[in-house]
Amino acid sequence: MKIGTVYLVGAGPGDPGLITVKGLTCIQKADVIVYDRLASPKLLSHAAPGAELIFVGKSPAGHAMTQEEINRLLIDRARQGNLVVRLKGGDPFVFGRGGEEAEALAEAGIPFEVVPGITSAVAVPAYAGIPVTHRDYASTLAIITGNEDPRKESSHINWEKLAAATDTLVILMGAANLAYIVEQLTKFGADPQTPVAVINWGTRPEQKTVTGNLENIVSRVMKEGVTNPSVIIVGRVVNLRKKLSWYEKKPLFGKRVLITRSREQASNLSRAIEALGGEAVEFPTIRIVEPENYELLDKAISRLDSYRWIIFTSVNGVRFFFTRLLQQGKDVRDLKGINICAIGPKTREALENYALKVFYVPDEYRAEQIITGLKSWIKPGDRILLPRADIARKVLAEMLSDLGAVVDEVVAYRTVPAGGDARLLKEMLAEGKIHIITFTSSSTVRNFVHLLDNGQLPGLLEGVTVACIGPVTAQTARKLGLPVHVQAHKYTIDGLVEAILEANQVVIKND
């Protein structure tokens, strides 16, 4: 059997958006991913279906595996012919023991590559508004491990020279030894008034920054309860934080937002949340799939010239209808003379991508408003096509029929449960790691409750903001026992984000 290759991949400091392009490609192609505690769990969502995921994280509380066991694991999986990714927080070669793993692979004759990552030594200070170098303040930089046991008889760190050798000191994983570090620096001549910052969980929603100087930083960090993982910055550049802090000023900073809509549609909402400083956690509770059979849809497509109206109530309806239209050997020219309606701006945009002019979009994006706008246009006997989901509400078809129209309601796609890892989601909720949950349809609510409802749901949602895209979704949530804290005024993704922002600002003011 051909020996596989091991890729030592730097996952960056925590923000999953800081993974390199090559690192992400390796994750997507991997047969086996061996990952650390500091690698963002969101990166694992890019793994191929069926990839083996192995946690080998180390923490002050204990190690999932020893370093020797990790080395053997990498060698073993590679000898089985796998493409193995060793996903490490930060950069593999900056205090990450990547060098030791590379040595072990080389000695075993295993091919390997190193994919550098963005080191926390630079990225974490940057997210706290601290440049590690600056023309006016710092031209030299030293990066030091803070994890060395202070009880050792002799240190590998030359504190005597470091105390005055560079303008900026960046010390990684040193929160537990902060008092010792301060003692060594001041002992060898560092000014007690030298500015210091300690940044905990940098680049993540939990990021917390404590500033002071060598004289008072220990007491301030103890008061704030800051522990590892932390990055310590010593030097005048810390003073620039007052002017340059940007990440912590974003409106959704500190918020982790759960996205429950289908994976194909989650990206727009995720991007909007992350642009505002939040972290989007995609946990699809639904999947959008083809109908069980195309009989009714094909029949409708075969007699398109009999319809006076086609009403699309979702982007998915547009996508599946036109996919099938083309598969049946037809195209948009077969829609000549038919009035096209869309329930909202995104659905209209999807139709306009096919160079179709949309006759009507209601001001309020719900089925009842379509009737309000069209009742003066629809004549008795008009034939109307509704390509929809299998679980769509019947109210639109019923109201159109009441106007005397002949309605063909056909299934263009199905909404089915996604079957995500409910165990992981429960853990995140129980640990208070989810701050906001978004629901963009009644089906996302129903499947969310189905996945989690074990009698613990009220407790799991305590302190969590529930945000719904519109009144129909909110009504479903309430019927199923969920509190609704935020409801969009405009029933779109943009409207949902605006409502979340508005609610978040009120909370901040109240606090």
Taking alpha carbons only, the member of 119, 80, 144, 115 closest to residue 7 is 115
Residue 173 among the catalytic residues: yes
Active-site residue (options: 22, 58, 330, 490):
58
Residue 322: CB atoms within 10 A of its CB come to 22
Look at residue 305 and give its three-state secondary structure. helix
Taking alpha carbons only, the member of 258, 205, 200, 209 closest to residue 229 is 200
Active-site residue (options: 31, 36, 91, 408):
36
Two structure tokens written together for 374: 């069209």
Q: Are strands 436-439 and 84-88 parallel, antiparallel or unpaired?
A: unpaired
Q: What is the 3-state secondary structure (H, E, C) of 120-143?
A: HHHHHHHHCCCCCCECCCECCEEE
- Cβ contacts of residue 61 below 8 Å, gap of 6+? none
Q: Calculate the CA dihedral of residues 272, 201, 428, 462 and round it to 10 degrees.
A: -80
CA 338/CA 315 separation, integer angstroms: 19
Active-site residue (options: 15, 31, 88, 173):
173
**308 neighbors 404 (Cβ within 8 angstroms):** no
CA 422/CA 458 separation, integer angstroms: 15
Two structure tokens written together for 336: 């000549």
Residue 222 among the catalytic residues: no
**b/e sequence 89-108, b meaning 16+ C-beta within 10 Å:** bbbbbbbbebeebbebbeeb
Taking alpha carbons only, the member of 452, 451, 442, 449 closest to residue 481 is 449
Look at residue 113 and give its three-state secondary structure. strand
Kindly list the catalytic residues. 36, 58, 173
